[in-house]
Structure 1
């Protein structure tokens, strides 16, 4: 099976990751790149074997926990076999609060598990603190570059 298409996944407790996922989808559409944007709660995990690229925006809730809507996704990744995500390119944008000891733990977990399952990281993971705008804008530029858009000087 040939992988094709792009997918944006978000896991959120307060809606921030969902909002950022929508911004990412809009930015990609402006470039002519189609990408679905879905909550990880609603995704059929088999879809990950079909798409070429996935961008995950996920928050950490409390002291290291996934948001409620991402618990099943994280459990699936925990049980994912090595090689299950071979051929999948991915990037992770983690949201958290550095006031907690397990800062952005869910994003770190997703990144590590996707790599362990054979995914190929195309962007370094971002661990974003409460100030989101600057880190997200920088990550968005890296996403665009991954599609061949030149960097903004």
Structure 2
């Protein structure tokens, strides 16, 4: 299958993951790459088969649960068969609160399930506590640096 496309996906309870996702999408587009941004609630899960890159920014809610809008996505992802997403590149930025025992559990699970499905991790997952600015900046810059290898040349 010929994969094509970049997408930033977010799952959020309070809106933070959405804000970060839109910032990442904007930065990717400034590189000359077409990139969509969608809430995981709205994404057609079967569409992942056709994408080349996905970047997931997702929070953990309560005691290790996905945000309300991400329940269906996480459930569907957990049931993907091994090897189905071979050829898909991904990165995960997990948001959480280290005051909970299952810190960033949702993001950890998304990372685990994508890897099990055969997707290739482009950047190490970051498990981020309440202070998000610096960890997100570092993760994003690392990711954008790696994307330059995949991006079309844009002449200014």
With normalisation by structure 1, the TM-score equals 0.95
- Structure 1 equivalent of residue 154 of structure 2: none
With normalisation by structure 2, the TM-score equals 0.93
How large is the Cα RMSD of the aligned pairs? 0.9
Secondary structure of the residue aligned to 1:106 is helix
Asked if 1:143 corresponds to 2:146, the answer is no
Q: Which runs of 5+ in 2 are unaligned?
A: 150-156
| CA drift at 1:147 | 1.5
Find the aligned partners of 1:11 and 1:84 in 2 and give their Cα distance.
22
Moved beyond 2 Å, runs of 4+: none
Map residues 2-151 of structure 1 onto 2, 5 A cutoff.
2-148=2-148
Find the aligned partners of 2:25 and 2:42 in 1 and give their Cα distance.
17
- Render the CA deviation track for 1:5-51: whole Å, top value 9, x for unaligned: 10100000000000000000111111111110000000001110111
Find the aligned partners of 1:77 and 1:47 in 2 and give their Cα distance.
12
Q: What is the total number of aligned residue pairs between the two structures?
A: 149
- Render the CA deviation track for 1:83-104: whole Å, top value 9, x for unaligned: 1111100000000000111000
Find the aligned partners of 2:47 and 2:18 in 1 and give their Cα distance.
19
- Render the CA deviation track for 1:59-82: whole Å, top value 9, x for unaligned: 000110000000001100111100
Find the aligned partners of 1:76 and 1:46 in 2 and give their Cα distance.
10
